[in-house]
Amino acid sequence: MEKRTSRAWVLILGTIAIFFAGILYAWSVIKTPLGDELGFSPSQLSLNFTFTMITFCLGGFLSGNLLPKVKLSYILAASAILSFVGFFISSRIGSNDIGLLYLSYGGFAGLGIGMAYNSIISVINEWFPDIKGTASGVLMMSFGASALILGNLANAMITKVGWRETYLVLGCAMGIALLLAAILLRHTREEDNIDSLVKNTEEVEESIKDYKTGEMVKRSSFIRFFLFLVLACAVGNSTVSIARDVAVSVGAEATLAATLAGVLSLCNGLGRVIAGILFDKFGQRITMTIDGVITIIAPVIMLLALSSNSVILVGIGLAVTGLSYAFQPPITSSVVSSFYGKKYFPKNFSVANMNLIPASFVATISGVLYSNSGSYIGVFALLLVFAIVSFALNLSVRKA
C-alpha cells in the first residue's frame, strides 16, 4: 500500500508540473494583445506558434537523448530556466521585435516546455507500466486543461494589469513549478519494486520487443502511424491556434470567444484521460478508430458553423475538435510503448512526437489562407481533407 501511495504522489507531482507547462496551448488567447498593441499580423503570430511547436518537438528529442545520460533534475532545471527566459524576453518586446518573439517564445519557451514534457511523461511511464495509457492521459489532461484555466486567468490579467506583466507572471509560475519537479521527481529504483504492483508484468513485457529508434523508424507500421499523426494533429493544432479568432469571426464577443477557446482546451484535457482509459481497456484499434471518426466530424461542424454564422455551432465544433485532438498524445505514448518497448521509450516517444513539426506548419498555412481570403471556410475545408486521409492511414496501422 505504501508503494502505491508513492506512485500516486509521483503522478500528482508530474501532473502539477506539466499543468503550468501547458500554457503553451493558450496561444490563441495570449497572442491577442501582440496583434492589437504591437501590430503583428495573424500570419506572423501563426508563424510564431509554428516555431513554438518545432522547438517543443526539438526539446523533447533533446531530453529523450539526455535522459539516459544526464540526471533528470538537471534536465528539468534547464527546462525551467529556458521557459522563464522565453516568457521574460517576450514580455519586453516592441512593435519591431517580431524576430525576438520568435526567438524568445518560439525558441526558448518552446524548447524548455518540450524538454519538460518529454521528461515528465517518460518518467511517469516508468512508474505506471500497467496503466500507461491512463497515466499518460492524466498528465496530458493537465497539459491540455492548462490552456482553459491559465488561459482565462491570463485573459483576465491582461485586462487588469497588462500583457507584459501577465507574461512575466506566467513565466515565473512555470519556472517555479518545473524547478520543484526538478527537486522532487525521480526515476524508479529497484527498491520501489514496481513490477510487484503489476499483474502479469513479466508476461506482458516479454511479448514486446525493445526497438532502437533507428529500427523503429524503418518499420512500415511506424511510418503509417507517423503520417496518421501528422494529418490528425494538423486538424487540432491549427484549430487551437485560431480558436478565439474563429469565434469572433461569427459574432462572438471577446470574452465569449476566449471562453469558447477555453472549451476546446477543456475537452482537449478531459479527452486525454478518456483516450488513455479506452486504450488500456479496449486497446489500440478501437481507440484509434474512435479518434478517426471524431477528427472527421470536427471540421464538418466548423464548416457548418461558419456557413451559418452560428456561435453555438462554433462552440460545439471547438468542443469536438478538442476531443479529437485529445486522443493523439496518449495514443502516441501508448502505441510507442506497446509497439516498440519501454527500454528506448524516451527517445522513441520524442521522435514520434516530431509529428507536431509538419503538423504545425498547417497552422501557418491556415493563417495565410485566412489573410488572403478573409474567411476561415477554406481553412476548415483543407482540415477536412486532412482528417479523411488521416482516417484511411489510421485504419492501416498495425503492430507488425
Question: What is the torsional sign of CA 223, 381, 372, 245?
Answer: negative
- pLDDT greater than 50 at residue 290: yes
In the block, cell 491556434 appears at 241
Pick the CATH number of 2-396 from 3.40.190.10, 3.10.580.10, 1.20.1250.20, 3.40.50.20: 1.20.1250.20
Mean pLDDT of the region 167-171: 92
d(CA 359, CA 237): 7
Average pLDDT, the chain: 85
127 compared with 195, residue with greater pLDDT: 127
* Cell digits of residue 132: 500507461
Mean pLDDT of the region 267-277: 82
Q: Band of the pLDDT at 195, cuts 50, 70, 90? A: low
d(CA 372, CA 375): 8
User: Closest by alpha carbon to 84, among 170, 201, 208?
Assistant: 170
* Cell digits of residue 53: 511547436
116 compared with 268, residue with greater pLDDT: 116
**Domain coordinates in residue numbering, the chain:** 2-396
Query: CA of 183: how far to CAs of 147, 288, 328, in Å?
Result: 25, 36, 30
Q: Band of the pLDDT at 299, cuts 50, 70, 90? A: very high
Identity (one letter) of the amino acid at 184? L
Mean pLDDT of the region 288-310: 92
Mean pLDDT of the region 84-104: 91
Give counts: helices (H), strands (E), the chain. Answer: 18, 0
d(CA 355, CA 263): 24
pLDDT score of 400: 52
pTM of the model: 0.74
Mean pLDDT of the region 229-245: 86
d(CA 150, CA 251): 24
Q: CB–CB of 336/349 below 8 Å?
A: yes
Q: Collect all residues with Cβ–Cβ distance below 8 Å to 156 and sequence separation of at least 6.
A: none
Residue 294: Cβ within 10 Å count = 21
Q: Band of the pLDDT at 207, cuts 50, 70, 90? A: low
SS3 131: coil
Q: Band of the pLDDT at 327, cuts 50, 70, 90? A: confident
User: Closest by alpha carbon to 232, among 285, 148, 294?
Assistant: 294
DSSP alpha helix (H) spans, 250-344: 254-282, 284-308, 311-340
User: Closest by alpha carbon to 24, among 44, 64, 54?
Assistant: 54
d(CA 206, CA 328): 26
Summarised one tens digit per residue, pLDDT across range 33-87 is 888 888 888 778 878 888 888 899 899 889 988 988 899 999 999 999 999 999 9
- pLDDT greater than 80 at residue 22: yes
Q: Band of the pLDDT at 96, cuts 50, 70, 90? A: confident
* Cell digits of residue 71: 540526471
User: Closest by alpha carbon to 179, among 76, 62, 67, 60?
Assistant: 76
Q: CB–CB of 101/162 below 8 Å?
A: no
